[in-house]
């Protein structure tokens, strides 16, 4: 999924050197090289700016996939515009996306870490919504026990953060919050994301369904 562009300059130079461009001997005998011109100072060629890859390379060697949730602004209300997830193992990749839901279903994933990111789309961001700078105030998690009559309410704060997830981090522009699911159990988690907007804080509550138990 992460393809780094490769330079073809070396290959082109090799083709030129191997093409056999020497002149016949008799022609070379009658031709004389033109007088050498004095060297002309030229400005160094500008160094091209580095282009960021479309998808950042994973720094976690155990990361096998990602999940992305989009928060939008429609009819003067925050909504989950879409949620998608996917993984790659041994060159085989699977992915999917669902509209109008913030739920993340990792139940079909093999063992491995999954990076989860919630991002504000242009409409929500331009409407003035931002994630709190403290990741533990931007997202909260709580186990949703099987058969429970009602889902629990996640509590924001580092002290209530489950051990099966790495610490959350908010981007510098406060447009997204990311954290890693270690996929160390098969629990279903209720999660909440908090957003600060023109009229105060808003909390949204979707779910994360884990899979891939036994990898830790």
Average pLDDT over residues 21-38: 45
Return the CATH number at 81.
2.60.40
Range of the domain at 172: 63-209
Q: What is the pLDDT of residue 36?
A: 53
Kindly tell me the burial class for residue 212, based on how many C-beta atoms sit within 10 Å of its own C-beta (0-12, 13-18, 19 or more).
buried
The Cα–Cα gap between 146 and 141 comes to 16
Considering only 72-81, 114-123, 206-215, which range has the smallest mean pLDDT? 206-215
pTM of the full structure: 0.69
Please name the residue ranges forming H helices in the chain.
Answer: 9-17, 25-30, 122-126, 135-138
Q: Does a structural domain hold residue 57?
A: no
Q: Does a structural domain hold residue 83?
A: yes
Contact (Cβ atoms closer than 8 angstroms) between residue 211 and residue 108: yes
Q: Does a structural domain hold residue 9?
A: no
Q: Does a structural domain hold residue 116?
A: yes
In percent, how much of the chain has pLDDT > 90?
Answer: 46
Q: What is the pLDDT of residue 16?
A: 34
Residue 2 sits at φ, ψ, to 5 deg, of -105, 105
Considering only 32-46, 56-70, 76-90, 184-198, which range has the smallest mean pLDDT? 32-46
Q: What is the pLDDT of residue 108?
A: 86
Q: Does a structural domain hold residue 35?
A: no
Q: How many domains does the chain have?
A: 1
Residue 191 has pLDDT above 80, yes or no: yes
Q: Does a structural domain hold residue 100?
A: yes
Contact (Cβ atoms closer than 8 angstroms) between residue 110 and residue 92: no
In degrees, to the nearest 5, what angle opens at C-alpha 182 toward C-alphas 85 and 174?
A: 65
Q: Does a structural domain hold residue 46?
A: no
Q: What is the pLDDT of residue 35?
A: 54
Count Cβ atoms below 10 Å from residue 95 Cβ, excluding itself.
13
């Amino acid at each position: 999924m992460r393809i780094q562009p490769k330079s073809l300059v070396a290959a082109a130079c090799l083709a030129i050197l191997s093409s056999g461009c020497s002149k016949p001997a008799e022609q070379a005998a009658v031709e004389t090289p033109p007088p050498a011109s004095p060297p002309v100072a030229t400005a160094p060629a500008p160094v091209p700016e580095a282009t960021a890859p479309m998808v950042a390379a994973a720094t976690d060697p155990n990361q096998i996939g990602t999940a992305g949730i989009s928060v939008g602004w429609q009819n003067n209300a925050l909504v989950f515009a879409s949620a998608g997830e996917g993984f790659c193992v041994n060159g085989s990749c699977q992915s999917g996306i669902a509209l109008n839901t913030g739920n993340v279903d990792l139940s079909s994933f093999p063992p491995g870490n999954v990076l989860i990111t919630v991002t504000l789309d242009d409409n929500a961001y331009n409407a003035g919504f931002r994630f709190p700078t403290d990741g533990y105030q931007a997202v909260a998690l709580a186990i949703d026990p099987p058969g429970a009559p009602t889902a629990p309410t996640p509590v924001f704060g580092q002290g209530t953060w489950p051990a099966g997830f790495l610490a959350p981090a908010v981007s510098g522009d406060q447009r997204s919050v990311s954290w890693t699911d270690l996929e160390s159990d098969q629990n279903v988690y209720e999660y909440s994301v908090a957003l600060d907007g023109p009229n105060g804080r808003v909390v949204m509550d979707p779910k994360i369904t884990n899979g891939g138990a036994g990898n830790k």
